[in-house]
Structure 1
Amino acid sequence: MRQKALQEHSIHYSELHPVLQGKRLIAFDLDGTLIDSVPDLAAAVARTLNELGLPASSETEVRDWVGNGAPVLVERALAWALNAAPEPALLERGYDVFMVHYGAAPNTLTTLYPGVKQTLQALHQQGLTLVLITNKPERFIEPLLSHFELLDYFTLLIGGDSLAEKKPHPLPLLHAARNCQIPPSACVMVGDSRHDMAAGKAAGFTTLALPYGYNHGEPIETSNPDLVLNSLTELLA
């Protein structure tokens, strides 16, 4: 878990979306919110299945499997390939193989969604505390953010294996609020999936949803976020 010292800023709410009025911290999901990482995840899953002697999945299938962290992604891929639940030993091996393949090329095909960098830069300049809360393994977060030149905007980085629980559990969000000394009522969760919305609601955060990410084929509106944004740039007035 990476954290940098908090700096005191005044927040210029007139330059922000009204939903951010009185807010001091914004937590962002990563995959499906800031970056489209499925192409690289799908390539790593396909290589993993091939190495295990199983039929390879496609990018379309992987888009419905992501969102709960790497172990669940691998479990879903193996279950699909086997048409049955994988044995624990195979699941463990599959996870190890996947981590090698994904670690070798985590940003070859991954792209930044439009408007992300300008929005993060503007929010940071306005004085808001930005944190990243993802279910992706922690080891991949900093290299990806550095690759897209986003790392300096974030005060705290929390991965799926950073704490005892991950989204949809509220613990990572509450941990971020506590560490940044900001009450949940002054915090926002921005994400693309039902797990982000559930974690945000349980933590007492305002929930903002994006419709273009990965939500297991479900419309994000069914998760009842406080607001749906078509683009992150809508956070700026």
Structure 2
Amino acid sequence: MHPLLHDIRLVAFDLDGTLIDSVPDLAAAVDGMLVEQGFEPVGEARVRDWVGNGSRKLVERALASVVGEAPDASLIEASHDHFLRHYHAAPCDQTRVYPGVREALDALEAEGFIVTLITNKPAAFIDPILEALDLRRYFRTTLGGDSLPQQKPHPAPLLHLATQYGVDPAQCLMVGDSRHDVEAGRRAGFRTLAVSYGYNHGEPVVSSRPDGVVESLRELV
């Protein structure tokens, strides 16, 4: 096993950009929302740099790009509703599991780790996507961006799971693709492992100084 797993009992994974590439479906929903309101679509490449802080922030960033200024709260709220409707209709048409993910999850399960999921994606989308990709069985608990009052990079979701399973934060590992995952892990007292292939707003995740970086989650095992 990877050296960062030494003495670790609980592993918390991020979802988008870490376990799955969900940008194609997110981009389709964003573009559908924009076109429906009379704006030009922005395309997958731009959406890829906006993912990571939950769906409302994604919508806000998309609107700012087409409006040319910070959108007002009423436009964000109405647009978010449109986005959710589009995404609910097709949350997993083009989403794919990254190479190495299943091997890592199989190995962690076999070794008896407590495997959990912490994402800023709305909770209603988590199980349908995991079920469609045959990943749900690996996770003892999943938390979405609206499961608690706080979301990553706040440490509360991570500490919630550590408390739930009675595990000291020093024996927990946060695995993600962005600076928000690294910050949340650091603030919670978790070890942090980053994957190099995720979204992270177009920045190299190594600049966030995680405890380790891997090219593939297959390196965990």
TM-score (norm 1): 0.92
SS in structure 1 of the partner of residue 108 of structure 2: helix
* Cα shift at 1:148: 1.1
SS in structure 1 of the partner of residue 148 of structure 2: coil
- The 5 Å alignment of 1:134-173 reads 134-173=119-158
* Cα shift at 1:150: 1.0
**Structure 2 equivalent of residue 47 of structure 1:** 32
**Structure 1 equivalent of residue 181 of structure 2:** 196
C-alpha distance in 2 between matches for 1:17 and 1:32 = 20
Matching residue within 169, 180, 183 for 2:168: 183
Deviations 1:133-158 (A, max 9, x none): 00000000011111111111111100
SS in structure 1 of the partner of residue 202 of structure 2: coil
- The 5 Å alignment of 1:19-30 reads 19-30=4-15
**Structure 2 equivalent of residue 60 of structure 1:** 45
**Structure 2 equivalent of residue 230 of structure 1:** 215
* 1:131 correspondence with 2:116: yes
C-alpha distance in 2 between matches for 1:91 and 1:22 = 44
Q: CA RMSD in A?
A: 0.6
C-alpha distance in 2 between matches for 1:165 and 1:89 = 22
| Segment of structure 1 superposing worse, 162-171 or 113-122 | 113-122
Report the residue type matching 1:233 in the other structure: R
* Cα shift at 1:206: 0.4
SS in structure 2 of the partner of residue 26 of structure 1: strand
SS in structure 2 of the partner of residue 216 of structure 1: helix
Deviations 1:11-40 (A, max 9, x none): xxxxx2222111000000000000000000
* Cα shift at 1:65: 0.5
- The 5 Å alignment of 1:52-91 reads 52-91=37-76
* Cα shift at 1:85: 1.2
Report the residue type matching 1:144 in the other structure: I
**Structure 1 equivalent of residue 21 of structure 2:** 36
C-alpha distance in 1 between matches for 2:165 and 2:136 = 17
**Structure 2 equivalent of residue 104 of structure 1:** 89
Report the residue type matching 2:72 in the other structure: E
C-alpha distance in 2 between matches for 1:135 and 1:92 = 17
C-alpha distance in 2 between matches for 1:138 and 1:63 = 20
Report the residue type matching 1:107 in the other structure: C
